[in-house]
């Protein structure tokens, strides 16, 4: 604590990394709190908390960070978390980043930045507001039951992705909450999926969840981006709450068939708010997977084309 | 089974067992590690002619990203409070409290991995 007539205070930096290479769960938690400042403060009592977790075999990787700048601080707090798991030729990663302003500009209470990133395979997280200032929960190759539960009620998405010949490659819950009133705060969350698929990819925007932001007050903007191999292919910014709610509710976007066969997609969101409230949404990524008989027909077709080409070439040679 | 077949089978088995033993002995044994560090407080300047001193900055590191065999390995690092900034009574400026850095890392080759890091500035 930086007591004294003009006492300064020290900053705090916490880093936690956990990796489970044998199929178990990985949990990383980081907590950082800057020292309290009494009087004038130098920008040195900020707080930074970084956590990362990584697993294999689709086991849950869970990373949580909390950063609280020191009371009276004029330095920000930053929390960031990332989680990754790989299995069966699929890699899924979640990232969350929250940066708060400093308490001198707000209501005197140190703002807290908290992040939670979870990556796993099979069964994932429920669609609910986890309460962190930024959160990202991604699931690779979700099992049928989990995908059905998550998509439940979104009829357009269900008919596009839950048919007998459809496969869901990934799902995610992304969102952010702001409790700091008066000063703009920025929160980001993203999900990245790497997998092999040569066909037409469909993005099902399932639903949104809003807390606070009464009458849209305090909501400044929400940006939603999609990047393929690091190149942005979609960027939408909503300047009012109603537009954002409408966009994420039971809609299907055709991403096309030219993103594969090695698909690398990152879905990101950034919430900027100066009032109390939260916004989150969930989505599913999938496409039609041909049945074995369809694959066999395609192979016969390709073989036939090849044979005809060979015959033509042979005839020309004679 | 002919004796030369048995010999080949035995050798193959022994090679497999030897590889397994080498792998197991090559992996590092791990155990939970917990580190706590507390920084010293800075001195107050009770005489206006004297300078206050800063709180002590500290760092705590627990575990590493080297693979370990303990399935329940848990690393936890607590960065200590930095010391109080000095308090100059007359027209002086207090000195900074100490910073705190905590780093925890765990990598396991079987079972679950857990790493916790806590840092509180002075």
Cβ pair B79:A12 closer than 8 A: yes
How far apart, in whole angstroms, are the C-alpha atoms of residue A73 and residue A70? 5
pLDDT tens digit sequence for A204-249: 999 999 999 999 999 999 999 999 999 999 999 999 999 999 999 9
- Is the pLDDT at B111 greater than 70? The verdict is yes
CB neighbour burial string for B42-53, b if at least 16 within 10 angstroms, e if fewer: bbbbeeeeeebb
> Residue range A271-297: average pLDDT?
83
Whole-number percent of chain B with pLDDT over 70: 43
Q: How far is A34 from chain B (nearest CA, A)?
A: 4
How far apart, in whole angstroms, are the C-alpha atoms of residue A149 and residue A124? 10
Which of B43 and A152 is assigned the larger pLDDT?
Answer: A152
A9 and A45 Cβ atoms separated by less than 8 Å:
yes
Cβ within 8 Å of residue A255, ≥6 positions away: A200, A201, A202, A203, A226, A233, A265
A–B CB contacts, 8 A cutoff, strictly below? 193
H or E stretch at A316: helix A292-317
Closest CA to A120 of A101, A138, A133, A135: A138
pLDDT tens digit sequence for A99-113: 886 655 455 556 789
Q: How far is A10 from chain B (nearest CA, A)?
A: 4
Cβ pair B106:A25 closer than 8 A: no
Whole-number percent of chain B with pLDDT over 90: 0
> Residue range A53-77: average pLDDT?
88
Look at residue B112 and give its three-state secondary structure: coil
How far apart, in whole angstroms, are the C-alpha atoms of residue A149 and residue A151? 6
Maximum separation of any 2 CA atoms in chain A, in Å: 101
DSSP state of A180: -
Least confidently predicted of A134-138, A146-150, A251-255, B86-90: B86-90
Query: What was the pLDDT predicted at B18?
Result: 40
Other C-beta atoms closer than 10 Å to the C-beta of A57 total 15
Which of B53 and B85 is assigned the larger pLDDT?
Answer: B53
How far apart, in whole angstroms, are the C-alpha atoms of residue B75 and residue B73? 7
Q: 3-state DSSP helix/strand/coil percent for chain B, to nearest 5?
A: 20, 30, 50
User: Cα separations (Å) of A95 from A67, A162, A187, A208?
Assistant: 16, 27, 11, 19
How far apart, in whole angstroms, are the C-alpha atoms of residue A172 and residue A161? 15
Interchain contact B37–A (C-beta under 8 A):
no
Q: How confident is the model at residue A262 (pLDDT cuts 50, 70, 90)?
A: very high
Query: What was the pLDDT predicted at B53?
Result: 76
Other C-beta atoms closer than 10 Å to the C-beta of B73 total 25
Least confidently predicted of A85-89, A148-152, A236-240, B27-31: B27-31
Out of A6, A12, A29, name the one closest to residue B94 (CB): A6
Out of B87, B89, B103, name the one closest to residue A15 (CB): B103
Query: What was the pLDDT predicted at B84?
Result: 57
Query: What was the pLDDT predicted at A153?
Result: 87
How far apart, in whole angstroms, are the C-alpha atoms of residue A234 and residue A225? 5
CA atoms within 13 A on the CB side of A160: 24
Compute φ and ψ for A215, nearest 5 degrees: 65, 20
pLDDT tens digit sequence for A19-47: 998 889 999 999 998 877 665 555 556 78
Cβ pair A26:B112 closer than 8 A: yes
CA atoms within 13 A on the CB side of A62: 13
Look at residue A163 and give its three-state secondary structure: coil
Beta strands in A130-218 (DSSP E): 134-142, 166-178, 185-196, 201-212
How far apart, in whole angstroms, are the C-alpha atoms of residue A188 and residue A196? 27
Q: How confident is the model at residue A87 (pLDDT cuts 50, 70, 90)?
A: very high
Q: State how beta strands B58-63 and A231-238 pair.
A: unpaired
Query: What was the pLDDT predicted at B37?
Result: 76
Least confidently predicted of A43-47, A87-91, A284-288: A43-47
Look at residue A154 and give its three-state secondary structure: coil
Look at residue A37 and give its three-state secondary structure: strand
ipTM, interface predicted TM-score of the complex: 0.81
A277 and A218 Cβ atoms separated by less than 8 Å:
yes
Mean pLDDT, chain B, rounded, equals 63
Closest CA to B65 of B31, B98, B104: B104
Query: What was the pLDDT predicted at A300?
Result: 63
């Amino acid at each position: 604590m930086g007591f004294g007539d003009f006492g300064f205070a020290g900053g705090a930096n916490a880093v936690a990394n956990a990796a489970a290479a044998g199929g178990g769960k990985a949990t990383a938690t980081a907590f950082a709190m800057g020292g309290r400042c009494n009087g004038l403060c130098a920008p040195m009592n900020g707080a930074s908390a970084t956590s990362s977790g990584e697993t294999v075999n689709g086991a849950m990787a869970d990373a949580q960070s909390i950063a609280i700048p020191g009371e009276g601080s004029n330095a920000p707090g930053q929390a960031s978390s990332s989680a990754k798991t790989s299995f069966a030729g699929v890699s899924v990663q979640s990232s969350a980043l929250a940066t708060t302003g400093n308490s001198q500009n707000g209501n005197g209470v140190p703002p807290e930045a908290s992040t939670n990133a979870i990556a796993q395979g099979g069964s994932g997280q429920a669609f609910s507001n986890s309460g962190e200032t930024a959160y990202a929960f991604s699931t690779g190759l979700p099992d049928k039951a989990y995908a059905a539960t998550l998509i439940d009620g979104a009829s357009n998405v269900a008919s596009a992705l839950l048919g007998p010949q459809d496969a869901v490659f990934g799902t995610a819950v992304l969102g952010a909450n702001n409790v700091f009133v008066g000063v703009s705060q920025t929160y980001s969350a993203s999900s990245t999926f790497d997998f092999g698929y040569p066909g037409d990819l469909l993005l099902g925007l399932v639903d949104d969840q809003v807390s606070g932001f009464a009458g849209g007050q305090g909501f400044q903007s929400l940006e939603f981006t999609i990047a393929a191999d690091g190149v942005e292919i979609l960027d939408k910014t909503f300047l009012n709450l109603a537009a954002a709610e409408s966009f994420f509710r039971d809609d299907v976007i055709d991403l096309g068939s030219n993103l594969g066969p090695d698909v690398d997609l990152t879905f990101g969101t950034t919430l900027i708010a100066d009032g109390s409230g939260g916004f989150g949404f969930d989505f599913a990524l999938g496409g039609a997977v041909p049945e074995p008989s369809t694959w066999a027909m395609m192979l016969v077709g390709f073989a036939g084309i090849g044979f005809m080409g060979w015959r033509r070439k042979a005839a020309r040679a004679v | 089974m002919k004796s030369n077949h048995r010999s080949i089978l035995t050798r193959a088995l022994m090679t497999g067992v030897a590889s397994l033993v080498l792998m197991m002995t090559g992996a590092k044994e791990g155990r939970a590690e917990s580190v706590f560090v507390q920084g010293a407080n800075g001195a107050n300047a009770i005489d206006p002619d004297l300078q206050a001193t800063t709180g002590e900055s500290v760092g705590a590191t627990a575990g590493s990203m080297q693979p370990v065999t303990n399935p329940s390995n848990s690393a936890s690092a607590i960065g200590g409070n930095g010391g109080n900034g000095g308090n100059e009574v007359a027209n002086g400026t207090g000195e900074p409290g100490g910073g705190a850095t905590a780093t925890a890392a765990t990598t396991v080759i079987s079972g679950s991995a857990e790493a916790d890091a806590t840092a509180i500035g002075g």
